């Protein structure tokens, strides 16, 4: 079986800086892949290249056998790739439901005419969509659907992160990219987030996930396989234990051990 996503020699350059250097990564259907690496090692650049926000200078990105290089971000999103961002990118003034509904926008069936004159069609569609959004939100927090028509800016940080994950899931992706979901969270909140990710796994067994994390407990808990980045290169790949024991990875995080006199 061929991989759902496969990059070959993926390279991103900013002027003279090579932010991503010939990266080969593959993800199978239903698999969760953890991505680790020090700050500035190219993890987020990797996501930005996959989702089409950055142009690849060289290499291939194959998603379900199709090459994504050169496609616009909105086209790639419609092919079944959804993501969250390290710093939340919700529209804080819009309602909780609206922030999830926008994930379903690309799958809408009603055209411009339905919006204005054949309104009943659109209203039926949007009612279904709101119901699905409520269902998704309730998976993570039972109280969220009741707050669906409140501006998302009124929610606490952890619920905002959940709304963002719901927005990504609302597009029914085959690949979900999570960019450091535990960023800025307390240990308790991170533990809740772990549970949330388990829920995603159980609800959508066929969904592949790539998760960037600095919290090693999260990585160990959710991922089946781990790759480590440093200076834009992939330096290790394998099980969490194998990667954690890798000398190059330890060096990247902790520095080289020097002989003491």
Partner 1 sequence: MLLVLLTESALFVLIAAAVLAERPVALAATGAAILAGLAATRFVTPLRTALGRAFERHHATALVGGAAGALALPLALSASPYWTFVATLALLYVTIGQGLNFQIGTAGVLNLAGAAFAGLGGYTVGLLTVSAGWPSWLAVLVGPLVAVTVGAVLFVPILKTRGHYLALVTIAFVFIFNILMNNLEFTGGPQGIKNIPTLQLAGYPFTTKPTVFGIGLPAHANFYYAALLMAALTTWIIRRLYDSWLGLALNTLRDDEIAAKCCGISITRGKLVAFSIGNFFIGLGGAFYAVMVGFVSPPDFDFGYSLVMLSVIIIGGVDSIPGVILGACLLVPLPERFRFLHEYRLLLYGVVIVVMLLYRPQGLWPAKVRRYR
- Contact residues toward partner 1 (CB under 8 A) are 51-53, 72-75, 77-78, 82-83, 85, 89-95, 98, 101-103, 105-106, 108, 110, 112, 115-116, 119, 122-123, 126-127, 130, 149-151, 167, 171
Q: Let me know: does 185 contact 164? Beta carbons within 8 Å.
A: no
- For the record, the structure tokens of 108 come out as 């809408």
Q: Which is nearer to partner 1, 77 or 182 (CB)?
A: 77
CB 113, min distance to partner 1, A: 11
The answer to whether the Cα torsion of 139, 186, 228, 45 is positive or negative is positive
Tell the smallest beta-carbon distance from residue 216 to partner 1 (Å): 27
Encode burial over 193-219: b for 16+ CB neighbours within 10 A, e otherwise: bbebbeebeeebeebbbbbbbebeebb
Integer Cα distance of 254 and 237 in angstroms: 18
Nearer to partner 1, 104 or 228 (CB): 104
- Of the pair 101, 252, the CB lying nearest partner 1 is at 101
d(CA 69, CA 103) in angstroms, rounded, equals 23
CA distances from 218 to 155, 224, 226, 229, 240 (A): 23, 12, 12, 17, 11
User: Nearest distance from residue 100's CB to partner 1, in Å?
Assistant: 10
| Residue among 72 and 251 whose Cβ is closer to partner 1 | 72
Q: Which CB atom, from 91 or from 241, has the smaller least distance to partner 1?
A: 91
Least CB distance to partner 1 at residue 149 (A): 5
Q: How far is the CB of 115 from partner 1 (least distance, A)?
A: 4
- Cα–Cα dist 206/1, whole Å: 14
């Amino acid at each position: 079986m061929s991989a759902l996503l496969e990059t070959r020699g993926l390279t991103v350059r900013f002027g003279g800086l090579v932010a991503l250097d010939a990266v080969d990564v593959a993800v199978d259907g239903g698999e969760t892949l953890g991505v680790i690496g020090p700050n500035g090692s190219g993890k987020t650049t990797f996501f930005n290249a996959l989702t089409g926000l950055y142009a690849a200078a060289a290499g291939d990105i194959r998603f379900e056998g199709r090459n994504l290089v050169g496609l616009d971000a909105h086209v790639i999103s419609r092919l079944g790739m959804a993501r969250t961002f390290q710093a939340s990118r919700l529209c804080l003034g819009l309602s909780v439901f609206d922030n999830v509904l926008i994930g379903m926008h690309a799958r809408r069936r009603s055209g411009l005419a339905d919006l204005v004159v054949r309104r009943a069609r659109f209203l039926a569609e949007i009612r279904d969509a709101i119901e699905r959004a409520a269902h998704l939100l309730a998976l993570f927090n039972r109280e969220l659907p009741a707050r669906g028509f409140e501006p998302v800016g009124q929610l606490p940080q952890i619920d905002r992160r959940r709304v963002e994950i719901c927005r990504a899931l609302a597009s029914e992706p085959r690949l979900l990219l999570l960019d450091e979901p535990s960023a800025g969270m307390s240990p308790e909140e991170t533990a809740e987030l772990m549970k949330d990710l388990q829920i995603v796994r159980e609800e959508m067994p066929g969904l592949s996930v790539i998760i960037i994390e600095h919290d090693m407990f999260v990585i160990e808990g959710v991922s089946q396989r781990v790759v480590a980045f440093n200076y834009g290169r992939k330096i290790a790949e394998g099980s969490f234990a194998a990667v954690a024991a890798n000398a190059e990875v330890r060096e990247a995080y902790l520095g080289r051990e020097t002989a003491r006199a």
